[in-house]
Amino acid sequence: MHHWQMTEMEKLHVSEQLKAEELCAKKARFYLNQSRDPAILGLLQQCVDKGSRHVNALSSLLQEAGLSGTARH
């Protein structure tokens, strides 16, 4: 657990980045389900996995700051 306080501006930036990462992962999952090329499938799966890690990390930061871990749309 971090021992620092996140400013309101930092919370806003992290929330916005969380929304962007969620959208990126959603798009990668969409294209993953559309593709049949094994090389493309592997690349898209890496994108989905990385996006999920980013979403989890940003959600954790927001939870530690006392906010919900999901982006508000």
pLDDT for res 72: 46
On whether residue 29 sits in a domain, the answer given is yes
Give 70's pLDDT tier (boundaries 50, 70, 90): low
On whether residue 6 sits in a domain, the answer given is no
Provide the domain limits for residue 59: 23-64
Which residue did the predictor score with more confidence, 49 or 69?
49
On whether residue 17 sits in a domain, the answer given is no
CB 47 within 8 A of CB 23: no
Look at the alpha carbons of 44, 46, 48, 54 in this order and tell me if their dihedral is positive or negative.
negative
Q: What is the mean pLDDT of residues 13-42?
A: 97
Question: Averaging pLDDT over each range in 4-18, 38-52, 56-70, which range is the top one?
Answer: 38-52
On whether residue 32 sits in a domain, the answer given is yes
On whether residue 57 sits in a domain, the answer given is yes
On whether residue 33 sits in a domain, the answer given is yes
On whether residue 47 sits in a domain, the answer given is yes
pTM of the model: 0.79
pLDDT for res 67: 80
On whether residue 55 sits in a domain, the answer given is yes
* Total domains in the fold of the chain: 1
